[in-house]
Amino acid sequence: MCSQPSRRKTPQPSEHAEAIKKALVDVAQESFFSYAEFCTPERFHEALESVRDAVDAASPRWLAAHVEFDGAFAGRVTVVVPYSLAADMTPAVAGLMPGDPIDDVLVRDATGEFANMICGTWLTRACVRRRFDLAPPAVLAVPAMPAAGRDDELVLINDWPVTLAVAFDAA
Locate the domains of the chain by residue range.
13-168
pLDDT band at 115 (very low <50, low <70, confident <90, very high): very high
Q: Residue 139, Cβ neighbours under 10 Å: how many?
A: 22
**pLDDT in the model for residue 53:** 64
pLDDT 10s digits, 42-60: 999 999 888 876 665 555 6
Superfamily (CATH H level) for 13-168: CheC-like (3.40.1550.10)
For the stretch 152-156, contacts whose Cβ atoms lie closer than 8 Å and that sit 24 or more positions apart, written own/partner, are: 153/17, 153/20, 153/21, 153/24, 153/38, 154/38, 154/39, 154/40, 154/41, 154/43, 154/44, 155/24, 155/36, 155/37, 155/38, 155/39, 155/44, 156/36, 156/37, 156/38, 156/39, 156/43, 156/44, 156/47
Summarize the confidence of residues 30-41 as an average pLDDT.
Answer: 94
**For residue 133, pLDDT beyond 90:** yes
pLDDT 10s digits, 88-106: 999 988 888 878 889 999 9
